[in-house]
Amino acid sequence: MLIGELAERAGTSARTLRYYEEQGLVRPRRDAHGYRQYDDAELKVVHEIRSLLAVGFGLDDIKPFVACLRATGSGHVCPDSVAVLRRKLAEVDGYLAELTDVRRQLHHQLTQALEHRENPCL
């Protein structure tokens, strides 16, 4: 299939697919006219990329997942992917802790602000 079709089927843009290729995530063949030719397996790859992106991974982090998907063809996860998963999980946990703290601070500020409501500025 051509890039336009894949883009539509994957719910993204041709530009995006070219970018993924530039980043080494997708490797289409070329036909006689130099057009990119993708087979159906690439659709799964792109879906994988999109969902991982949505989860907060960067394209670099996604590479091992794609390599694994390409190697096994199934949903199995390779050691590299596991390492990235662990790292990302820890990262997300840290982020959660941080964000929870932020939330507490905001809540504190807000309640304090409402306490001092009898003293509005100006």
Partner DNA sequence: CTAGGCCTTCACACCGGCGTCAAGGCAACG
Partner DNA sequence: CGTTGCCTTGACGCCGGTGTGAAGGCCTAG
**Which residues here bind DNA, judged by CB under 7 A?**
2-5, 12-16, 18-20, 23, 33-36, 53, 57-60
What amino acid occupies position 72?
A: T
Measured CA to CA, the distance from residue 48 to residue 122 in angstroms comes to 54
Is residue 95 within the footprint of a second copy (CB under 8 A)?
yes
**Contact indicator for 10, 42 with CB cutoff of 8 Å:** no
Applying CB under 8 A, which of residues 4, 11, 24, 56 lies at the interface with a second copy? 56
Is residue 45 within the footprint of a second copy (CB under 8 A)?
no
Query: Beta strands of the chain (E only): which ranges?
Result: 29-30, 36-37
**Is 56 or 73 the residue whose CB approaches DNA more closely?**
56
Total number of residues that touch a second copy (CB under 8 A)? 37
Length of the chain: 122
- The residues, any chain, with a CB within 8 Å of residue 1's CB and separated by 6 or more, are 9, 37, 38, 39, 40
Is residue 121 within the footprint of a second copy (CB under 8 A)?
yes
List contacts with a second copy (CB under 8 A): 55-56, 68, 71-72, 75-79, 81-82, 85-86, 88-89, 92-93, 95-96, 99-100, 102-103, 105-107, 109-110, 112-114, 116, 119-122
